[in-house]
């Protein structure tokens, strides 16, 4: 891979030294560099390839970091990192101790606003623009938003407020015709129409020219036509919201993009530049299969074949795959079951439901709030909605869970994929708050399976439960346990004792149950008798079992992959009579956990089996000396 120009660029100031006609080569070299980097590490590929030309043009035209670039989600920003002094560190991206895969203010002054969740850029950029006005500065603020982010309600809240404020703000709509999975909804259809609006744009120009001949009523007719939507003008939606619209423009003509940006940065008021791009641009496999190459693992660049570690035995299925297969089986037996997800069918396993029951499947786009209230409406009419959303994204729908589901005691099943520490995506994607934010809501039942087999039983139970219930389970492969042939309903709010012990009992929840069993064995080997209980439910809590454990052993240890504040351990403390037992709580600290491989992260926060054993050994008096 040659980097004739890219190797000369350590900052946007270096980029500005080049002639405009050299920019296409920079974009091409940057794409090749990103492909090579991701092939060795995995990461977000297709979006960053699609936005390469926009990225080069923005840094060429605007005075960053004085001028602010505010990116939505961060999937499209690998090129931004390359051009802003982080090229030599790209071999550490998403690795433990390395560069973040998303935007991070503490990482670079060029990252003006952190980004991991969708639809935040316009609101944040408007806040920066208003702050600039209040300070009397003259800087420019640009929000770069993908079309998928426009399915999230916050984007429209930001747009309408920007149209109202009428301050100088530039929004670049990166319309790549996809957002992780296929674009859905009315806006998706609207944007798709815009892709072919060259003729419509010409028609608008001709109509304007014709009506201009009529001095008194020509403009009135044009305004009426716009408002009545007699004609589909490009950008009509945005212009009605108070924006000046430019586009659609070719998002891969970097020279033309630079000219457009040079022009619009001189204009006043809210501006929207609509750029049409192709996700995966420049790497043929990514252009052809944009979902697979959105976030691929390691691969061979020449052959586009994914690189996998040698398989010594058949790996266990992922929790996501087990969920997908299980929800399809449940829906085959019950026509009232409907499946809902928020633009993540493959990521949540809902693609299997989609393929099996297309009429009962609903992808609402990046709109988690709507997903939950939509489910509540279905439940109010006798259906059994199963809502599959990543734990970290369900945080956005907290009010809807509380107000629309739980207050009305509606039987909505919330399935929280990616609970706990998810790995390389880091703190914006770790699902480590759900036990805390869900268990405080009256009427909510919260469960966490110990393994993939228990997930099947819990889903079976949840669908038959007549009330709000949430299941949370981790990312990645299961434990490898045998899957039972027959499903059974689990008793709500009841745990199960897995191992007896005389010195201490570990009360574990979710994916920390099996590490707790391993830790117990390590302690037994060193002379500490350790019991283990799989609590299964955080709410309602099995208080009777808690009291039995407290009576049997003088010390209890709670283990969870949730923050300690308000989590499972807090629930145990609240349930126990003061002085009944000594309790050691092990969980996530009151700080954001960085990115890295999950096994490294769990060890770093003290939740791996050896670290659990080490902490318990140090806590149990007169026993720790046996551990060396």
- Matching residue, tokens 């619009």: 264
Residue 483 phi, psi dihedral angles, 5° rounding: -90, 125
Report how far residue 162's alpha carbon sits from residue 350's, in angstroms, rounded to the nearest whole number. Answer: 36
Q: Which of 204, 330, 368, 452 is catalytic?
A: 368
**Residues 419/473, Cβ–Cβ less than 8 Å:** yes
**Residues 499/550, Cβ–Cβ less than 8 Å:** no
Q: Which of 87, 396, 555, 623 is catalytic?
A: 396
For residue 614, indicate whether it is catalytic.
no
Counts for the chain of helices (H) and strands (E), in that order: 26, 19
Q: Which of 104, 279, 360, 472 is catalytic?
A: 279
DSSP alpha helix (H) spans, 138-181: 153-165
Residue 456 corresponds to which tokens in the numbers above? Answer: 């099947």
Residue 250 corresponds to which tokens in the numbers above? Answer: 């070719």
For residue 396, indicate whether it is catalytic.
yes
Residue 224 phi, psi dihedral angles, 5° rounding: -60, -45
DSSP state letters, 37-95: HHHHH----HHHHHTHHHHHHHHHHS-TTTSEEEESSSTT-HHHHIIIIIGGGGGGTTS
**Residues 452/322, Cβ–Cβ less than 8 Å:** yes
For residue 239, indicate whether it is catalytic.
no
Residue of 141, 146, 100 lying closest to 119 (CA atoms): 146
Exposed e or buried b per residue across 316-354, where buried means at least 16 C-beta atoms within 10 angstroms of its C-beta:
bbbbbebbbbbbbebbeeeeebbbbbbbbbbbbbbbbbb
Residue 482 phi, psi dihedral angles, 5° rounding: -70, 135
At 5 the three-state DSSP class reads: coil
Stretch (H or E) spanning 469: strand 469-472
The catalytic site residues sit at 279, 368, 396
């Amino acid at each position: 891979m040659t980097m004739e120009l890219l190797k000369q660029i350590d900052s946007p100031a270096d980029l500005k030294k080049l002639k405009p006609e050299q920019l296409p080569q920079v974009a091409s070299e940057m794409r090749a560099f990103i492909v090579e980097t991701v092939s060795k590490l995995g990461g977000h590929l297709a979006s960053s390839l699609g936005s390469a030309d926009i990225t080069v043009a923005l840094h060429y035209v605007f005075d960053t970091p004085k001028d602010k670039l505010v990116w939505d989600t961060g999937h499209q920003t690998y090129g931004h990192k390359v051009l802003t002094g982080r090229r030599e560190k790209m071999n550490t991206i998403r690795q433990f101790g390395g560069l973040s895969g998303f935007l991070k203010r503490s990482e670079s002054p060029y990252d003006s606003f952190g980004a991991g969740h969708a639809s935040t850029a316009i609101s944040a950029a408007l806040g920066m623009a208003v702050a600039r006005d209040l300070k009397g500065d003259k800087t420019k603020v640009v929000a770069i938003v993908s079309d998928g982010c426009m399915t999230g309600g916050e984007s429209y809240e930001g747009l309408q407020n920007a149209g109202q404020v009428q301050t100088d703000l530039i929004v670049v709509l990166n319309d790549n015709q996809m957002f992780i999975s296929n674009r859905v909804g009315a806006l998706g259809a609207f944007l798709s129409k815009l892709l072919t609006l060259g003729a419509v744009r010409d028609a608008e120009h001709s109509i304007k020219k014709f009506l201009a001949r009529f001095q008194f009523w020509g403009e009135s007719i044009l305004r009426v036509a716009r408002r009545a939507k007699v004609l589909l003008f490009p950008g009509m939606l945005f212009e009605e919201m108070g924006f000046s619209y430019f586009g659609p423009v070719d998002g891969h003509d970097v020279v033309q993009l630079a000219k457009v940006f040079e022009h619009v940065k001189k204009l006043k008021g809210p501006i929207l530049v609509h750029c049409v791009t192709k996700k995966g641009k420049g790497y043929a496999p990514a252009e052809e299969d944009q979902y697979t190459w959105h976030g691929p693992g390691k691969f061979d660049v020449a052959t586009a074949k994914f690189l996998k570690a040698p398989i010594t035995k058949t790996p266990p299925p992922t929790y996501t795959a087990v969920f997908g297969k299980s929800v399809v089986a449940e829906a085959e037996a019950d026509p009232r079951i409907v499946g809902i997800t928020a633009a993540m069918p493959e990521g949540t396993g809902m693609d299997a439901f989609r393929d099996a029951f297309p009429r009962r499947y609903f992808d609402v786009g990046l709109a988690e709030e709507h997903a939950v209230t939509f489910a509540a409406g279905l439940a109010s009419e006798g259906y059994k909605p199963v809502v599959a959303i990543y734990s970290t994204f369900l945080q956005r729908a907290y009010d809807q869970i509380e107000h629309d589901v739980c207050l009305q005691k509606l039987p909505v099943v919330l399935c929280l994929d990616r609970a706990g520490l998810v790995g390389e995506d880091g703190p914006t994607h770790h699902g480590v708050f759900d036990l805390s934010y869900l268990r405080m809501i009256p009427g909510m039942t919260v469960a966490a399976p110990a393994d993939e087999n228990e997930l099947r039983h819990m889903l079976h139970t949840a669908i038959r439960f007549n009330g709000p219930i949430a299941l949370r389970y981790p990312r990645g492969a299961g434990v490898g346990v045998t899957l039972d042939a027959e499903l059974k309903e689990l008793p709500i709010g009841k745990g199960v004792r897995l191992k007896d012990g005389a010195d201490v009992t570990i009360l574990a929840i979710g994916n920390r149950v099996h590490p707790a069993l391993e830790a117990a064995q390590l302690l037994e080997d060193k002379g500490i008798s350790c019991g283990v209980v799989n609590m299964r439910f955080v709410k309602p809590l099995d208080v009777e079992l808690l009291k039995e454990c407290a009576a049997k052993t003088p010390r209890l240890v709670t283990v969870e992959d949730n923050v300690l504040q308000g989590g499972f351990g807090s629930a145990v403390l609240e349930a126990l009579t003061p002085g009944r037992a000594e309790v050691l709580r092990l969980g996530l600290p009151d700080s954001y956990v960085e990115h890295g491989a999950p096994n490294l992260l769990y060890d770093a926060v003290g939740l791996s089996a050896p670290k659990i054993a080490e902490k318990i050994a140090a806590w149990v008096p007169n026993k720790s000396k046996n551990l060396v």
